[in-house]
Structure 1
């Protein structure tokens, strides 16, 4: 398959596949004349790269995991570290969702006077500016 065909199947521009090749993430076969020829192995590799990107891994991390990391422990350490990062992002997103859901259902005529929202705002203020002198309230959501 030609580079343009495969890139189009994934909704990518051909230059993305060329970049990934330059980074060592892809190694397509070459036809006479030097044209890239992609096969099923390359299509699978692209799917892996896209999954890694969706998970928030950098291209450098992805290359390390797919090409350089022969050591299972090193791969596991990177996955565990990234898992912690994702858990933090998920927790922050869940808290944000709780705030949004509360705001959507809040009975206050003006959301800025809602006691629960005001508590969240106070928690975001620098310690010296908080009305309570610096203590962070527990989450109400």
Structure 2
């Protein structure tokens, strides 16, 4: 089955993007769409897959430089390093989200209507309050 080619406007609309975003990604070397006789960009199925990788990776917090390494054919060891770094970042962010959710659930259920007065929340930051720890140290210690 032959891939049909799409305009930049149609391609951008499929992903909910502005056309300038696709041009920027092309300038960064992430995309290389075909061109017609009038030098208009034409996107095929392979381009759509690359765009989907970029969109998903950006949503997961990756930079365009990191995504460029993922999409390159010649960076095997760098690719693994970027992915390991990204997985560690995802784990850290997921743990932060877990703690934020726990705090929101506690606040919802807490009778102390004011989180700054809540004894349960204050207990979780007692070491920061008494000066025996810093916020960043307390966060690092709570990591699995």
Which TM-score bucket, shorter chain as reference?
0.7 to 0.9
Note the alpha carbon deviations across 1:40-99, whole angstroms, 9 max, x for none.
Answer: 1111110011111111110111012212x5242321121111111111111111111111
Residues 1:5 and 2:3 aligned together: no
Shift of 1:121: 4.2
Unaligned runs of 5+ in 1: none
Partner residue in 2 for 1:50 = 55
Q: Taking structure 2 as the reference length, what is the TM-score of the superposition?
A: 0.81
Task: Give the secondary-structure state (helix, strand or coil) at the position aligned to 1:33.
Answer: coil
CA distance in 1, matches of 2:46, 2:110: 53
The RMSD of aligned alpha carbons is: 2.0
Partner residue in 2 for 1:112 = 116
Shift of 1:122: 3.6
Q: Taking structure 1 as the reference length, what is the TM-score of the superposition?
A: 0.83
Partner residue in 2 for 1:17 = 22
CA distance in 1, matches of 2:10, 2:111: 54
Residues 1:97 and 2:101 aligned together: yes
